[in-house]
């Protein structure tokens, strides 16, 4: 059976919209305005503060986004205890900074950090059409997931959304040791394919810098999940890259 490699976040599991919804809920609970502009401002602080964090490039955290860092496992993450403690403090500092920038009370930051974890965990869900798409694809393919992130967090998402029984192999950057954009990730995929005697038909994902790079490094065709079906200028096009707004609507030209 031939292999399809699928990305996880914003390909199978909702990340962007779920994050924005969670920020709205936390701000509203703190008595703050929660319109799109305010959420954008909060996310900007989240990104900037994470980029300066001393452990931003520690092991598997290299491929973790700023908003993902705010709801990583507090314990049992596989990270050193000192790093876990620094992430706890980081979340509080982030929400304090956001509240200060909005003219709110930064003393609410501890509660907001806790509430974001709760809201974001509650918002964990599959994207629309993923159930039907996975069922269709699984009939003729072995389905692998390739994802960047902290192994404990990514395994949790896969289990909590019911994806685990549908997957034949799970590849996580934090376990392989490099991100999907690194040629060594593609090399690891190639070794597994040869080991299993299988052929890779398609790499599917939303990231031009990670998923399309993985496909390019391995010499495999790719399908790009584009927000609203529109790709940014400079996104690779050509016979080996196909585009579509969702997993169910991507044109699958597997040649297998």
Whether residue 30 is found in the same domain as residue 78: yes
Whether residue 87 is found in the same domain as residue 196: no
Whether residue 20 is found in the same domain as residue 129: no
Distance CA 224, CA 210 (A): 11
Average pLDDT, the chain: 91
Number of domains comprising the chain? 2
Whether residue 134 is found in the same domain as residue 10: yes
Of 1 and 171, more confident: 171
Domain annotation covers residue 214:
yes
Residue 236: what pLDDT? 55
Residue 64: what pLDDT? 95
Residue 253: what pLDDT? 54
* Final residue of a structural domain among 98, 122, 146: 122
Backbone φ, ψ for residue 15 (5° rounding): -120, -55
Whether residue 99 is found in the same domain as residue 157: no
Residue 245: what pLDDT? 74
Domain annotation covers residue 72:
yes
Query: DSSP label at 107?
Result: G
6 DSSP β-pair partners: 145, 204
Per-residue DSSP letters for 128-157?
A: TTHHHHHHHHHTTEEEEEEE-S-HHHHHHH
Whether residue 78 is found in the same domain as residue 129: no
225: region left, alpha or beta (phi > 0 left; psi from -120 to 50 alpha)? beta
Name which of 178, 175, 141 is nearest 158 in CA terms: 175
Whether residue 88 is found in the same domain as residue 209: no
Whether residue 129 is found in the same domain as residue 240: yes
Res. 229 pLDDT band, cuts 50 70 90 = low
N-to-C CA span, the chain: 9
- 52 pLDDT above the threshold of 70: yes
Whether residue 133 is found in the same domain as residue 235: yes
Where would I find the beta strands (DSSP E) of 148-198? 169-172
- 119 pLDDT above the threshold of 80: yes
Domain annotation covers residue 178:
yes
- 74 pLDDT above the threshold of 90: no
Domain annotation covers residue 97:
yes
* Final residue of a structural domain among 99, 122, 145: 122
Domain annotation covers residue 180:
yes
pTM for this entry: 0.91
Whether residue 130 is found in the same domain as residue 101: no
| Sign (positive or negative) of CA dihedral 130, 15, 83, 172 | positive
Mean pLDDT is lowest, of 143-147, 151-155, 193-197, 206-210, for 206-210
Of 247 and 12, more confident: 12
* Final residue of a structural domain among 122, 147, 173: 122
Region 160-175: what's the mean pLDDT?
Answer: 97
Q: Which domain holds residue 191?
A: 2-14+125-244
Domain annotation covers residue 249:
no
Domain annotation covers residue 63:
yes
């Amino acid at each position: 059976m031939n292999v399809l490699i699928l990305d996880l976040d914003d390909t199978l599991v909702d990340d962007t919209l779920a994050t924005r919804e969670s920020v709205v809920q936390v701000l509203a609970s703190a008595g703050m305005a929660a319109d799109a502009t305010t959420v954008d401002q909060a996310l900007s602080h989240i990104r900037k503060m994470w980029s300066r964090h001393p452990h931003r490039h520690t092991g598997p955290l290299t491929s973790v986004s700023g908003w993902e860092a705010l709801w990583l496992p507090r314990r049992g993450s596989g990270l050193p205890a000192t790093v876990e403690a620094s992430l706890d403090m980081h979340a509080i500092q982030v929400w304090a900074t956001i509240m200060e920038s909005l003219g709110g009370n930064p003393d609410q930051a501890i509660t907001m950090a806790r509430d974001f974890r709760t809201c974001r965990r509650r918002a964990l869900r599959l994207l629309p059409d993923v159930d039907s798409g996975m069922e269709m694809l699984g009939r003729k393919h072995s389905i692998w997931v390739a994802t960047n992130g902290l192994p404990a967090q990514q395994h949790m998402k896969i289990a909590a959304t019911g994806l685990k029984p549908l997957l034949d192999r799970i590849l996580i950057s934090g376990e392989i040791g490099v991100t999907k954009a690194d040629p060594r990730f593609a090399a690891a995929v190639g070794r597994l394919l040869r080991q299993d005697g299988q052929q890779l038909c398609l790499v599917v994902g939303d990231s031009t810098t990670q998923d399309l790079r993985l496909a390019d490094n391995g010499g495999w065709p790719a399908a790009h999940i584009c927000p609203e079906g529109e790709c940014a200028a400079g996104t690779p096009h050509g016979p080996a890259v196909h585009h579509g707004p969702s997993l169910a609507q991507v044109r699958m030209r597997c040649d297998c």
